[in-house]
Structure 1
Amino acid sequence: MTDYEPIRRVVTGHDSTGKAIIVRDEQVPSISPPEFGGRWAIWGADATVSLPNDGTAPDETDKQFPPPGGVKVIKLALPPKYNPDALTDTTELLDPELLAQLGFLVDPNPPGTYGSRPGIAGMHASATVDCVLQLSGETVLILEDNEVHLKPGDSLVLNGVVHSWRNDGNEPSTLIGIMVGADHSGIPKR
């Protein structure tokens, strides 16, 4: 299996007698345009889930991020040499209106605020706590004044901060993330 093929999702639940069963065993395709790598929505809920249940997918919107109390589980694959600057042909930040429509927080800071570090055009934040595990390859987490290189087995907790991703390597970078919706008072203006 390559990093960009559909992934297998096995879902458990309970039958009418309360017995634990396999409800679904299916392939989940990527929901991301190829130039952004791959992004798989593995599971999600917009509110607290009650258990036991029959394994039916919880209610969730098609937004990128869960609301407070919700959760989304994703797989993210970045192609070799992925740099969001190359997607926009500039180091300007992505269109704030588009980002807001996709569920990202509105950034009150002007373009150029985050410096000139490679990958800065992809800076964004969400009202989520993201627990991320690096599965394969290496990913560069870009912050305003810092970069962190994640290697297989490394974990990361993003607490609603402005960040971007880059892959400097020659192989795909694959991460698994669990995003928990949180209350967020907004990106601080500097």
Structure 2
Amino acid sequence: MKTVRRVVTGYGSDGRAVVVSDEQVESTSPDRGDKWSIWAADGPVRLPNDGSAPPFQGPLLPAPGGFHITMFTLPANFNPDELWGTDDPALREQLFQASIDPQTHPLVPDPNPYGYGTAKGASALHTTASIDCLMQVSGEAVFVLENTEIRLRPGDWLILNGVPHSCRNDLNEPAVLVGVVVGAHHDGVPLRAA
């Protein structure tokens, strides 16, 4: 699937509810796997309106108080640990940091030493200033929280409250998820107790 249909409503000049647009949204891929930006805003939206797209700088994370409705795919057999081609933690950290574009993936700084997660896929642990409400649509995704794995099956929901996380796909088919990402203020990742 390379496009997703999006129908947008609003109010016409006569005050009646109308369809403003009915179009196919193209996928983008700022990192691994296709992503579709369905609707987003960098702050609260006032209604009624004409259905025009609200301001959103994106491409993935909204400003605090904003939202982003998205759909994304994890490729089959995706494990971020395999992206780096090394088991050396220092080199993995260097390669991971170099792979992050702060414009597309603004991350919350983590004061903990790199590599504190032990679950498969933990080499890409990252934290965002957002609450990510995710529903598994098809396939299965595994979300990694340091040493914990959460396997999502179709219909399952996961709420990520600004915690360090990563994800992988252990199956031979893509994993498709729908998400509502809410921008939040984040006071920083806590220092882990020894």
Q: Same fold (TM over 0.5)?
A: yes
Aligned pair in 2 of structure 1 residues 121, 99: CA closer, same or farther (>3 Å)? Answer: farther
Render the CA deviation track for 1:52-89: whole Å, top value 9, x for unaligned.
11110000103421111100011011111011122222
Alignment of 1:160 with 2:156, yes or no, is: no
Q: Which residue in the other structure is 2:22 paired with? A: 25
Q: Distance in 2 between matches of 1:126 and 1:99?
A: 13
Alignment of 1:104 onto 2:107: yes
1:30 to 1:87, Cα distance in 2 relative to 1, 3 A: farther
5+ residue gaps, structure 2, are: none
Residue 176 (structure 2) aligns with: 174
Q: Write out per-residue CA displacement over residues 126-170 of structure 1, whole angstroms, 9 at most, x where no aligned residue.
A: 111111111000000111121011000001111000000100011
Unpaired runs of 5+ residues, structure 1, are none
Name the structure 1 match of 2:131. Answer: 129
TM-score by length of 2: 0.89
Q: What is the number of residues matched between the two proteins? A: 185
Give the match's secondary structure for 1:85. Answer: helix
Deviates more, 1:100-109 or 1:130-139: 100-109
Q: CA RMSD in A?
A: 1.7
Pick aligned residue for 1:60 from 50, 56, 63: 56
TM-score normalised according to structure 1 size = 0.90
Q: Percent of aligned positions with the same letter in both sequences?
A: 47
C-alpha distance in 2 between matches for 1:118 and 1:41:
28
* 1:7 aligned onto 2:11: no
8 Å CA contact retained: 2:117, 2:123: no
